[in-house]
Amino acid sequence: MSTGLDALTQKKINAWLTGNYDADTKAKIQKLLDDKKDTDLTDSFYKDLEFGTGGMRGEMGVGSNRMNKYTVGSATQGFANYINQVVGLGDPEGSSVAIAYDSRNNSPYFAQVAADIFSANGIKVFLFSALRPTPELSFAIRYLKCQGGLVVTASHNPREYNGYKAYWNDGSQVVAPHDKNIVAEVNKIQSVDEINFVGNPKLITLIGENIDFQYLKTIENNCINPDVIARQSELRIVYSSIHGTGITLVPKALQLLGFENVSVVEAQAEPDGNFPTVIYPNPEEAEAMSLAMNQAQELDADLVIATDPDADRVGAAVKNPKGDWVLLNGNQMASLIIYYLLDAWKKAGKLTGKEFVAKTIVTTNIIDKMCETRGVKCYNTLTGFKYIAAVIRELEGKEKFICGGEESYGYLIGDAVRDKDAIASCAMIAELTAYAKDNGKSLFDFLTEMYMENGFYYEGLISLTKKGKAGAEEIQQMMVNLRANIPTTVAGSEPITVLDYNDLTSKNLKTGEITNIPVGLGMESSNVIQLVLADGTKVSARPSGTEPKIKFYVSVNAPLNRPEDFEIVLANLKAKVSAIQEDLGLK
């Protein structure tokens, strides 16, 4: 054994080499040892994959910190044990799960491994017969009255990743206490021999088109202005699934609503876990959207939309007044959707004072402002749609959910699904684009109108990637340093409030007064810190729960008095964000 490995890593490697693991796995580990790949071995074994804000996610390969048959198996066995504790072993009324998977390499295999383990533990399994979007999995759990479920996906991560999102019976990703309880059950498994890999085919039922039909009906029900769509049925839409699951349902959803001129980016239409046409399969990246925007330019389209591999996130592009295609960021699109829905609900006489919107604490505050002026509550939650789902669950039957959104390109319309939903969002984005065109405007004009009415809000994000054990330790130290050294000024503006979600406190830096941030309604302790500056700027720092990154968010705003001033105000706000990032040592 290499002397470059710590004792815990060596112990885990020995357990895999001597345990009941398959010969191929052992051979791969031995080769890493023979080649003295100490860094790779440490990163593969120094810890176990854990549930974060989005479940379990990691690079595929051998080891306790990699996505493979055994880490999927351990997580699923722990999940199965917990379900059987909560529901009761073999309970025919509640002991069931739904499983979906995306287009990534090994996703069908991992889904089948999980299905076999659940069924081996007496739990009925509804397994999608082919790849499907994550939001449809959330819907299926509720529709089939399952106790839980999972989707095998790494969302928008690079091709070498895969992952595992665990869901509870309300169709949302697991939250406390279930997340911690599942992890506790997983941690109790000390040997691979405790995992029941041999499935019971009698307990596995394949599902597909029947769930598609019911799910698409909910998207049709979200439509507010079908008459507008009828008039604008020839709206020119370009859509890309970026080699993911969106191709299964986005074109169908748009067709169902009445859009007849949808052009699919064929080069990216085939599901493929190698993502051959992009560096990252992420609609947040301009490079991933380039083929779609080129096609839109050729067709003189009205809208570009693209979804990530598991179709829970959507990116969009529109033409500006110069005729150039520009990407809208997640804050802009979340704001536009909510701007449209709030006014549509008001015109329809549906605002009674009991409606609400939900967003995350790092998402633009223009949403708070729009809700306030329309008498609609806006709940701010921790990052992750499971917290927005928690608000919906807690307020069910008391208040009516309109829409939710987060800056990372995730939106939810209505409450049939309890996770971000790119299928329903594509449909709604197309509808609001049709609405704008029906009123002689482009989607860009609609954006400008929103900013003129509510102020021009602009957000900047810097993500620092820190891989492996050393990276994780560096990220934690960065958060410790920030808490210990709150700056006295940031780009000329004084911090006036520090919100520390780790201990759920808000400190007034002028008076020293400390108040508690209320627990509940999507809020619990989390390693996030926010600074609110005297000029209204908000700076947030948050380690990612699903990626080896620490993220810094900056939100600034200014008035927009005339459409002609859009580019000038935008340039000024970008310069301000850049100055803040530089002052914080992030550039």
DSSP characters over 178-238: HHHHHHHHHHH--SGGGS--S--GGGEEEE-HHHHHHHHHHHHHH-S-HHHHHHTTT--EE
| Interhelix angle 38-45/7-18, nearest 10 degrees | 80
Total residue length of the chain: 587
Are 584 and 487 in contact, with CB atoms under 8 Å apart? yes
**Is 197 buried (19+), middle (13-18) or exposed (0-12) by CB count in 10 A?**
middle
User: Long-range contact list for 268-271, CB < 8 A, 24+ apart?
Assistant: 268/240, 268/241, 268/242, 268/243, 268/292, 269/240, 269/241, 269/243, 270/243, 271/103, 271/131, 271/241, 271/243, 271/244, 271/245, 271/247
Asked if omega into 177 is within 30° of 0 (cis), the reply is: yes
What one-character DSSP code corresponds to residue 563? G
Residue pair 483/500 in contact by the 8 Å Cβ criterion: yes
SS (H, E, C) 454-514: HCEEEEEEEEEECCHHHHHHHHHHHHHHHHHCCCCCECCECEEEEEECCCCEEEECCCCCE
DSSP letters spanning 60-129: BSSSTTSBSHHHHHHHHHHHHHHHHHHH-TT-TTT-EEEEEE-SSTTHHHHHHHHHHHHHHTT-EEEEES
- 155 assigned to active site: yes
Alpha helices in 245-316 (DSSP H): 250-257, 286-299
Non-local (6+) Cβ contacts of 453 within 8 A are none
Distances 401 to 164, 345, 370, 385 between C-alpha atoms, Å: 27, 12, 16, 14
Q: Are strands 538-543 and 529-533 parallel, antiparallel or unpaired?
A: antiparallel
Residues with Cβ < 8 Å from 60, sequence gap 6 or more? 66, 67, 68, 105, 106, 160, 161, 162
Q: Give the type of residue at 579.
A: A
CA nearest to 411, candidates 397, 435, 431: 431
Do the Cβ atoms of 239 and 264 come closer than 8 Å?
A: yes
Catalytic residue among 44, 96, 155, 555: 155
Q: Which residues are catalytic?
A: 155
